[in-house]
């Protein structure tokens, strides 16, 4: 077999569809978020404003977080040295799990190396612990949840239409009432920016005897009076059985976790391959996360500023006649509807305007729903927003993309 030609053919197909992914070489500058230096392939560079970071609140630059990380590197060194079983449980890991349990009002929490791994490992392991488990999964759940459900459940999964509680109830009512059940869903869906009806989902879970598993990856740090997420904001945090989150987005560092009753966490700790067989995160990361979570628990004004900035950007882009998709959250998606156009607009924004926003193409979103996804932070100024709106307006005209006014909220 000519392996090289097979690889090349796979790449050719992605190129032909206009969705070949090119990574931008960015160097950030401490304290200057969201500005960065972009280095081109020819070695030349220029300054850009980053508009698509999931470091939603700029916590990756917060001196409180950086100081905590520096201190732990100085005190204890770099890596953790092993899996949690084999010398990889340091004081900083223990402290972080306590902090996370407290954040979510749960008995216990468990750290993973990323949000992806926490979903993959936890969901696949729940099938091991609960024989015959049926997972009811929202159609737009993240790939990490789907991967965990597929790995664990094979045929024992039911997909309900996105945020459609009527469909979820139909599916719940149709299965064996005695079977163990779990509803897996997200609070903020990160590509559309819409938000689940958590209270409604919990009510159905109670009615049909199901557990709930809520991914708050795009909400932790940003919603609720202490930043525990949308379930906290909606007053239903205590009714979620397992909450999952990341330390890599609004908390500004890296890692993932679940929080739940002690018995659930202990069982997943004891059976999850993705937890047991991998080196734990470096202690400095854990310390940075603790500092970030504590800071955001006490600084609700950051969340208020964040929401205000997102509203300001939505208003500006709508005023400019751009097809802003309806979004109930801090995420500002602008529909393009074509992979090649989306890439072209993103390239021109970067090359001519110093604006960095990645095109979001299939398979992250369905074909025909390609978009630019803006994530304004408290540090994005009015002047930056004005510059973005003007550049987009000019490009929409230049690229002659139909202005899909009806999509706008
Ligand atoms: N869950 C959702 C909904 C996500 O969007 C992501 C990543 O974007 C993850 C989980 C994975 O989190 P992490 O980036 O920490 O691996």
**Model pLDDT for residues 354-394, shown as the tens digit of each residue:** 999 999 988 889 999 999 999 999 999 999 999 999 999 99
pLDDT above 90 (res 154): no
Specify the pLDDT at position 60. 97
pLDDT above 90 (res 289): yes
Q: What percent of the chain has pLDDT over 90?
A: 91
Identify which has the larger pLDDT, 218 or 340: 218
For the CA of 142, the closest atom of ligand 1 is 3
CB of residue 99 inside a 6 A radius of ligand 1: no
Candidate of 55, 137, 144 to mutate for ligand 1, largest count of ligand atoms within 8 Å of Cβ: 144
Phi-psi region of 177 (alpha: psi -120 to 50; beta: other; left: phi over 0): alpha
Task: Provide the annotated active-site residues.
Answer: 249
101-120, pLDDT tens digit by residue? 999 999 999 999 999 999 99
Average pLDDT, the chain: 95
pLDDT winner (highest mean) among 13-17, 28-32, 359-363 = 28-32
Say how many Å lie between the CA of residue 148 and the centre of ligand 1.
13
**In whole angstroms, what is the distance from residue 230 CA to residue 341 CA?**
34
CB of residue 255 inside a 6 A radius of ligand 1: no
Closest CA to 106 of 114, 98, 117: 98
229-284, pLDDT tens digit by residue? 999 999 999 999 999 999 999 999 999 999 999 999 999 999 999 999 999 999 99
**In whole angstroms, what is the distance from residue 295 CA to residue 216 CA?**
18
Say how many Å lie between the CA of residue 122 and the centre of ligand 1.
14
- Return the exposure string of 192-218: e unless at least 16 CB atoms fall within 10 Å of the residue's CB, then b: bbbbbebeebbebbeebebbbbbbbbb
Specify the pLDDT at position 248. 98
Q: Are 378 and 305 in contact (CB under 8 A)?
A: yes
Query: pLDDT band at residue 401, thresholds of 50, 70 and 90?
Result: low
**In whole angstroms, what is the distance from residue 360 CA to residue 372 CA?**
6
Specify the pLDDT at position 404. 40
Cα–chain-centroid distance for residue 249? 7
CB of residue 114 inside a 6 A radius of ligand 1: yes
Residue 229 preceded by cis peptide, ω within 30:
no
CB of residue 187 inside a 6 A radius of ligand 1: no
Helix (H, G, I), strand (E, B) or coil at 172: helix
Helix (H, G, I), strand (E, B) or coil at 32: coil
204-211 mean pLDDT = 98
Query: pLDDT band at residue 20, thresholds of 50, 70 and 90?
Result: confident
Side-chain-facing half-sphere of 81: CA atoms under 13 Å: 10
pLDDT above 60 (res 402): no
Candidate of 217, 358, 375 to mutate for ligand 1, largest count of ligand atoms within 8 Å of Cβ: 217
pLDDT above 50 (res 407): no
pLDDT above 70 (res 398): yes
Specify the pLDDT at position 340. 87
**In whole angstroms, what is the distance from residue 331 CA to residue 258 CA?**
24
Specify the pLDDT at position 403. 44
205-220 mean pLDDT = 98
135-159 mean pLDDT = 93
343-357 mean pLDDT = 95
Specify the pLDDT at position 352. 95
CB of residue 245 inside a 6 A radius of ligand 1: no
pLDDT above 70 (res 162): yes
């Amino acid at each position: 077999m000519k392996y090289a030609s097979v690889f090349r053919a796979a790449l050719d197909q992605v190129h032909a569809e206009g969705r070949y992914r090119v990574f931008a070489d960015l160097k950030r500058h401490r304290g200057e978020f969201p500005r960065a230096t972009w280095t081109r392939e020819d070695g030349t560079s220029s300054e850009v404003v980053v508009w698509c970071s999931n470091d939603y609140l700029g916590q990756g630059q917060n001196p409180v977080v950086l100081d905590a990380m520096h201190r732990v590197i100085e005190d204890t060194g770099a890596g953790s040295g092993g899996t949690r079983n084999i010398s990889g449980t340091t004081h900083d890991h223990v402290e972080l799990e306590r902090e996370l349990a407290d954040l979510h009002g749960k008995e216990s929490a468990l750290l993973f190396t990323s949000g992806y791994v926490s979903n993959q490992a936890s969901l696949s392991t729940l099938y091991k612990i609960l024989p015959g488990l049926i997972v009811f999964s929202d159609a737009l759940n993240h790939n990490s949840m789907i991967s965990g459900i597929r790995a664990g459940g094979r045929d024992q999964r039911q997909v309900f239409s996105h945020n459609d509680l009527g469909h979820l109830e139909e599916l719940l009512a149709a299965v064996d009432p005695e079977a163990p059940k779990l509803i897996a869903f997200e609070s903020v869906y990160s590509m559309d920016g819409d938000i689940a009806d958590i209270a409604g989902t919990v009510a159905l879970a109670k009615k049909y005897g199901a557990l709930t598993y809520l991914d708050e990856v795009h909400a932790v740090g940003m919603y609720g009076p202490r930043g525990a997420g949308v379930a906290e904001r909606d007053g239903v945090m205590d009714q979620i059985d397992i909450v999952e989150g990341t330390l890599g987005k609004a908390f500004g560092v890296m890692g993932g976790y679940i929080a739940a009753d002690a018995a659930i966490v202990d069982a997943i700790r004891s059976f999850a391959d993705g937890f047991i067989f991998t080196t734990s995160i470096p202690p400095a990361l854990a310390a940075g996360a603790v500092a970030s979570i504590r800071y955001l628990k006490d600084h609700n004004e950051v969340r208020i500023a964040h929401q205000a900035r997102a509203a300001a950007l939505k208003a500006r882009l709508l005023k400019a006649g751009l097809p802003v998709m309806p979004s109930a959250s801090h995420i500002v998606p602008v529909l393009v509807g074509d992979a090649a156009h989306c890439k072209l607009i993103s390239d021109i924004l970067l090359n001519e305007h110093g604006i960095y926003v990645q095109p979001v193409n299939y398979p992250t979103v369905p074909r025909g729903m390609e978009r630019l996804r803006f994530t304004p932070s408290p540090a994005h100024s009015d002047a930056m927003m004005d510059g973005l709106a003007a550049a987009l307006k000019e490009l929409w005209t230049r690229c002659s993309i139909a202005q899909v006014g009806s999509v706008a909220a």
